[in-house]
Structure 1
Amino acid sequence: METVELEPQVLANRLGVAFSLIFQKQPIECTITITALEAYFWLEPRAGDERILKTFRDGYGRIRAIAERKLLAHPAARLELTTADFLRP
Structure 2
Amino acid sequence: MTPSFPPATSAFADGKLLLFVISARNQSVQCSISRDALERHFWLPAGASDALTLKAFAHGRLRITVVAERRTLKSAGAPIALTAAEFAR
Q: TM-score, normalised by structure 2?
A: 0.90
Do the aligned partners of 2:31 and 2:79 also contact (CA within 8 Å) in 1? yes
Structure 1: stretches of 5+ with no match in the other structure: none
Counting aligned pairs with the same residue, the percent is 34
1:23-79, Cα deviation, whole Å (9 max, x unpaired): 111100000000000010010000001100000000000000110111113323211
User: Hey, what's the Cα distance between the residues in 2 that align with 1:28 and 1:71?
Assistant: 8
User: Hey, what's the Cα distance between the residues in 2 that align with 1:66 and 1:44?
Assistant: 22
Query: Equivalent residues in 2 for 1:28-43 (5 A)?
Result: 28-43=29-44
> Aligned letter for 2:32?
T
Q: Which residue of 2 aligns with 1:84?
A: 85
Do the aligned partners of 1:3 and 1:22 also contact (CA within 8 Å) in 2? yes
SS at match of 2:22: strand
User: Hey, what's the Cα distance between the residues in 1 that align with 2:34 and 2:73?
Assistant: 20
Q: TM-score, normalised by structure 1?
A: 0.90
Structure 2: stretches of 5+ with no match in the other structure: none
Q: Which residue of 1 aligns with 2:53?
A: 52
Structure 1 outlier segments of 4+, above 4 Å: none
Q: Please tell me the root mean square deviation across aligned C-alpha atoms, in Å.
A: 1.3
Query: Equivalent residues in 2 for 1:58-77 (5 A)?
Result: 58-77=59-78
